[in-house]
Amino acid sequence: MKNEKVREGLKKVEKLAKKEGRPELEPDFDVDLYFLCECSDENCGQRLKINLQDYTKIHKSRKRFVIARGHEVDNIEDIINKSKNYQVVKKYKAPSENLVMLNKTDVNNK
């Protein structure tokens, strides 16, 4: 959620800069940023260095998430890409729609 707010904020800045005719104020989408790990551990606060364009491409699918290496949970997701700083997983099992609250879990979900 926080990661999406960063991306949305940059899109708003870009739109405003174009509206005002100020190209020098447009954000550089070819920049590396530090996004929060999107693993299944709701207490994880690890930051991952990732290019904003790459992050945007990954999230064209709502089932894909950027996580730290080693934070995958085999019984709900598959690793579909690995890089030096992060890996991308695709969830194949989603929580119930009527889920009210997540349980505390560690990244190993044992």
Q: Which residue has the higher pLDDT, 107 or 12?
A: 12
pLDDT in tens, 32-78: 888 999 998 889 999 999 988 898 889 888 889 999 999 999 888 99
Please say whether the beta carbons of 84 and 39 come within 8 A.
no
Q: Which residue has the higher pLDDT, 5 or 66?
A: 66
Q: CA 5, CA 7: separation in Å to the nearest integer? A: 5
- Number of residues in the chain: 110
Backbone angles phi, psi at 78, to 5 degrees: -120, 140
Mean pLDDT in the chain?
81
Domain boundaries, the chain: 2-91
Q: How confident is the model at residue 89 (pLDDT cuts 50, 70, 90)?
A: very high
Cα 14–Cα 51–Cα 22 angle in degrees, nearest 5: 20
Q: How confident is the model at residue 110 (pLDDT cuts 50, 70, 90)?
A: very low
Other Cβ atoms closer than 10 A to 68: 19
What is residue 109's three-state secondary structure?
A: coil
pLDDT of 12 strictly over 90: no
pLDDT in the model for residue 104: 52
